[in-house]
Amino acid sequence: MRLATWNVNSIRTRADRVAAFLERHGVDVLALQETKCRDDQFPEMVFAPLGYEVAHVGHSQWNGVAILSRVGLDDVTTGFPGMPSWSSKEGVDPAPEARALGATCGGVRVWSLYVPNGRTLADPHLQYKLEWLEALRVAAGGWLAAEPEAPIALVGDWNIAPQDDDVWDMSVFTHSTHVSPAERAAFQGVVDAGFADVVRPLAPGPGVYTYWDYTQLRFPRREGMRIDFVLGSPAFAGRVDGAFIDREERKGKGASDHAPVVVDLTP
DNA sequence: ATGGTTGGACGCCAA
């Protein structure tokens, strides 16, 4: 089974590109982040003829996560237990955002995750990000404790560069989110709960990234960040026999600022 | 070249 994750940065703008990606690589299950649409706006009609079922949660023009599968799509769950809420505006009650979607596809429990950005070190959004990751650690740890042999994949845009090699120049990030000790500790907490990065061993750095900012010619300058990850439970990780980052997808007109991350599982 | 991308709610916020 071939599983991929991709922060697509608007599914409506890039539906054709996503369809071409699915066909080109024979992807069975694709987790998407930043679909940037409501459920009723998701272009399911592009993917149904190709044989993919779609699960999506999107409340507005922000966030939005989906799972496309041609090997079954069961037990769809929106959000995880304990997931924090957020409101950017004073006077507006915090509510759960469209940042987590779970489904069982071909026997694998897949979670499409869009971790909050954090914005700046002083922004309340960073505290939200840390609380969100802590709640995920607790929830995912519980799933694994209940079913130690379950193949579970936590995939998506984690908005964290766990290692110095995961950015092109650490000196640029001295006062930035994504590399702070608190964020890295929150990421490590999920790893310590039993979920391993299954891609890094097969796509080692330095200089291997999944995201390049649209500005400052970051992509042609090869100035990127590794912030999109496939974290697998022991049963999942033990079945991984291939992985790559599709850097070609970042090229050309109409590219997302993220590249897809692809993992192959043995049957 | 007095800017520098892109996307979505079309005026600015978010990344």
Q: What is the pLDDT of residues A171-230, one digit of tens each?
A: 999 999 999 999 999 999 999 999 999 999 999 999 999 999 999 999 999 999 999 999
Pairing of strands A108-114, A152-157: parallel
Pick the CATH number of A2-265 from 3.90.650.10, 3.30.70.260, 3.40.50.1110, 3.60.10.10: 3.60.10.10
**Token pair listed for A15:** 């539906």
Q: Is the CB of A117 under 7 A from strand B?
A: yes
Contact A6, A33 (CB under 8 A): yes
Q: How far apart (Å, rounded) are the C-alpha atoms in residues A75 and A87?
A: 28
Contact A259, A252 (CB under 8 A): no
Contact A130, A180 (CB under 8 A): no
Q: Is the CB of A35 under 7 A from strand B?
A: no
- Indicate if A25 belongs to the active site: no
pLDDT > 90: what percent of chain A? 98
Q: Is the CB of A12 under 7 A from strand B?
A: yes
Strand partners, A100: A113
Minimum-distance nucleotide, CA of A36 to C1': B8
Contact A3, A265 (CB under 8 A): yes
Per-residue pLDDT reduced to its tens digit, A113-147:
999 999 999 999 999 999 999 999 999 999 999 99
Is residue A90 predicted with pLDDT exceeding 90? no
Q: What mean pLDDT, rounded, does chain A reach?
A: 97
One of A28, A52, A157, A228 is an active-site residue; which one?
A157
Nearest to A80 by CA among A103, A106, A107: A103
Q: Is the CB of A87 under 7 A from strand B?
A: no
The secondary structure element, H or E, covering residue A105 is strand A100-105
For strand B, the positions having any atom within 7 A of a protein Cβ are: 4-9, 13-15
Minimum-distance nucleotide, CA of A61 to C1': B8
- Indicate if A197 belongs to the active site: no
The secondary structure element, H or E, covering residue A162 is none
Q: How far apart (Å, rounded) are the C-alpha atoms in residues A1 and A126?
A: 36
Residue A157 buriedness (CB in 10 A; 0-12 / 13-18 / 19+): buried
**Looking at residue A14, what is its pLDDT?**
98
Q: Is the CB of A48 under 7 A from strand B?
A: no
Nearest to A1 by CA among A21, A24, A30: A30
* pTM (2 d.p.): 0.98
Name the pLDDT band for A92 (thresholds 50, 70, 90): confident
Spanning CA of A61 to C1' of B7, the rounded length in angstroms is: 9
Task: Say whether A94 sits in a helix, a strand or coil.
Answer: coil
**Residue numbers in A 166-195, CB below 7 Å of strand B:** none
